[in-house]
Amino acid sequence: MENRMRGKSRALVHFCVLVQIMCCVYYATNMIRHRPGFAVQHSGISDSEIYPNRKYEGEYIRYETKKYGQDFCVAYNVTRATGNFRDDGLEPISLVIHATSHFMREIEGQCSSRNWNGPISVSLFVDRTSSEAVEYLHEVHRCSSKVNQKLSLHVVYRMSPFQKTCDPISIKRSNRKCNSFNATIRSRERGRVIPPFQIYPINVMRNVARKGALSDIHMAADVEMVFSEGFAVKMKPIANQYINGKDKKLLVIRAFEFHHKYFPAGHTIESLWQWFRMSKNQTEAYAWQIGYKSSSWEAQLIMHRKDPYNPEYIPTRIRDQQSLVYELCRANYTFHLASHVFNVHRGVKTKETNLSSAVLTHQKRLRTRSYKRFMHYINSTYPDTFDQCGRFVM
């Protein structure tokens, strides 16, 4: 009798412990789902609605691609950010960046950084030798909570000369345990991928990243840029105030570029010490209007989804970003410099590489034709605004 009572007591204790464990798991799960910035966007939505271009075929996941322009194929949302970032009722700022497989580590770094608490839209350019980068980033998205929360990845590849339709992108389904996908393994797998060796279609990549963004407010930047502490959170209220797709207002971010010394006209914004004082004397970010600089100005902008996109026929590395800034001026947009926040380019560039020099030499042959096309478009679309913006020099 005594043994039976002991057995029942043990069973009751085990049952109580099991109930406590289940309650803790339920509580922890709900805390994660409802913590700021982690509202699950896909709740109640089917997988086919989230990924309409995705199909499971045996051990592979296939993503349908769409033809983009005359020369490219794009698969949008090969990964899709699960974070909502709208708990405060404000539209989040999407960081829109572009890259090749050479910058996979930087993509992970942007997602892991505490400075960008918001969605990140990345366009990734691949070719045959670098296509493994897609599988790698897909795996990182599956195994890293921060990357899963922030990263929407869009894959771009160039069509071959006689290719008429776009082929799907295939990724092998992974059964790997995520706790084994550590920093050492990641570094080894990144090192095995050979970056593409061809002309990088920079404005196509910028536009794909913007078109694939999950919010209407975009911070356009290069993947190497490092943002000041709390950038996305500090800028969110003022971005919602200025950037609405109607008022033609842009927020300019002060950038400290690696080649400022060699190309000051592209990145200099006057009154640096005034900017420091105004940022120091105010507790919250605000902005004041500044003038358009010149056709060399490579402004870092926060803009709306409805605002103009980069002209994709402009040659790479020849006024490719400045052409958009000039169009915005001619379209009567106003530029407003934001306080408190900035970004800086990682590393210091002292000279051109052989590859970048070769790209520039090749692309210069397209300069005259592209310039004529661009100026015809600008002058016919915005005929009355030349005086306020001046001549565009390419």
Q: Is residue 26 part of a domain?
A: no
Whether 55 and 167 share a structural domain: yes
pLDDT for position 8: 54
Q: Is 271 left (phi over 0), alpha (psi -120 to 50) or beta?
A: left
Whether 127 and 233 share a structural domain: no
Whether 245 and 215 share a structural domain: no
pLDDT at 310 over 90: yes
CA–CA gap between residue 359 and residue 345 (Å, rounded): 21
Digit-coded pLDDT (tens) for 251-302: 999 988 654 454 454 455 666 767 777 777 777 888 989 999 999 999 999 9
- The share of the chain scoring above pLDDT 70, in percent, equals 81
Three-state DSSP class for residue 270: coil
CA–CA gap between residue 136 and residue 5 (Å, rounded): 57
Whether 258 and 219 share a structural domain: no
Whether 198 and 241 share a structural domain: no
pLDDT at 351 over 80: no
At 153, the pLDDT band (50, 70, 90 cuts) reads: very high
Whether 266 and 155 share a structural domain: no
- What are φ and ψ of residue 107, in 5° steps? -60, -45
Digit-coded pLDDT (tens) for 37-49: 333 344 455 566 6
Q: Is residue 19 part of a domain?
A: no
pLDDT for position 364: 73
Whether 187 and 237 share a structural domain: no
Cβ atoms of 75 and 155 within 8 Å: the answer is: yes
Q: Is residue 16 part of a domain?
A: no
Calculate mean pLDDT across residues 214-222: 97
248 contacts: CB under 8 Å, gap ≥ 6: 331, 332, 333, 334
Whether 186 and 54 share a structural domain: yes
Whether 137 and 270 share a structural domain: no
Provide the mean pLDDT of the chain: 85
- The number of distinct structural domains making up the chain is 2
Model pTM score: 0.84
Q: Is residue 39 part of a domain?
A: no
Residue with tokens 């950037």: 243
pLDDT at 156 over 90: yes
Tell which residue, 222, 9, 3, has the closest CA to residue 99.
222
At 175, the pLDDT band (50, 70, 90 cuts) reads: very high
pLDDT for position 19: 46
Whether 155 and 262 share a structural domain: no
Q: Is residue 176 part of a domain?
A: yes
CA–CA gap between residue 93 and residue 218 (Å, rounded): 6
Whether 274 and 160 share a structural domain: no
Whether 138 and 196 share a structural domain: yes
Domain's final residue, options 223, 256, 275:
223
Q: Is residue 311 part of a domain?
A: yes
Q: Is residue 66 part of a domain?
A: yes
Output the six-digit token pair for 241.
């105030």
Domain's final residue, options 188, 203, 223:
223
Calculate mean pLDDT across residues 85-106: 96
Output the six-digit token pair for 52.
């309409």
Alpha carbon of residue 379 to chain centroid: 31
Domain of 368? Answer: 228-394
Q: Is residue 103 part of a domain?
A: yes
Domain's final residue, options 201, 223, 245:
223
pLDDT for position 100: 96
Cβ atoms of 157 and 125 within 8 Å: the answer is: yes
